[in-house]
Amino acid sequence: MLVFPLRNSREMGKSIAKAAKAKLGNLKSDNFPDGEFYIRFLDSVKGKEIILVQSMSPNPNDSLLELYWAGITAKQLGAEKVIGVAPYLAYMRQDKVFNSGEALSNHIMAHLLNTSLDKIVTVDPHLHRIRNLAELFHIERKKITANNDIANYISKKFSAKNTVIIGPDSESSQWAAVIAEKIGFESSIFEKQRHSARNVKVNVVKELAWKGKNVVIVDDIISSGHTMIEAIKTVRKKEAKSVHCICIHGIFAENAHAKMLKAGANTITSCNTIAHKSNKIDLAKTIVENW
């Protein structure tokens, strides 16, 4: 087995190779002056199982195509099996044609990976209208969850006696509620009203004893951060002692990290599916144990 980290996942690739006790492969990935990709495997991949590690953020377009290029090239060079580990899998939120003439992005992304990989491994992909990866991928596929790692992190940092866990919208319940139940914390879910990409309001579905408590808000993805910011403001109005935000995939577009801190978040923690200064939960071991 050879593990090749691509541009977005240098550190994660190293961690995965260490956890798998596999050799770290050398691959040159560059761009020509006109922007075209240049990919070269510096280690022989012929007859070997190849692991390509590439998170699809930042720059989802380039990161998807780099993974596609590397997968096709490894196959052409005679790799026995090409496995793509995409800790964050982009294009999963465009899972429906909402307006006439739109591209169905998740199907197009899956088509590229179906033709360049033998297996896809990812962490907590955004499954909403698409309920199973088998609806997109005809190659081998594996969905891994960060729930246990986040639950362990929360239980070490906080006490169930003075801490509650919140999901900022109904979709987040598959993480927040499950994690809270796993470690015996009280929880609630907010209801989101999205008026536009940057205009979001949240309402409390179930009132808790917020005053003087630590509140941990858990979601799968923080992108522009508007949903989290509204949740932070709502909790602050209820006189919580402190507010802590945890996510699996920290995209933090449009300076979301700084905006969340300004809104009143005491801490912001993410898993290392996307490289960011907030990474405090390492999923490499979980990925290797479950792929």
Q: Which sequence positions are flagged as catalytic? A: 192
Sign, Cα dihedral of 154, 225, 213, 187: negative
* Cα atoms in the 13 Å half-sphere on the side-chain side of 77: 19
The answer for residues whose C-beta is within 8 angstroms of residue 33's C-beta and 6 or more apart is: none
* Cα atoms in the 13 Å half-sphere on the side-chain side of 139: 16
| Cα–Cα distance for residue pair 234/225, rounded to 1 Å | 14
> 226 near 192, Cβ under 8 Å?
no
3-state secondary structure of 106: helix
Strands in the chain per DSSP E = 2-5, 23-24, 27-31, 37-41, 49-53, 81-86, 119-123, 140-144, 163-167, 186-196, 199-204, 214-222, 242-250, 267-271, 279-281
The type of residue at 150 is I
Q: How far is CA 100 from CA 45, 96, 97, 197, in A?
A: 44, 11, 7, 19
| Cα–Cα distance for residue pair 49/36, rounded to 1 Å | 27
> 191 near 169, Cβ under 8 Å?
yes
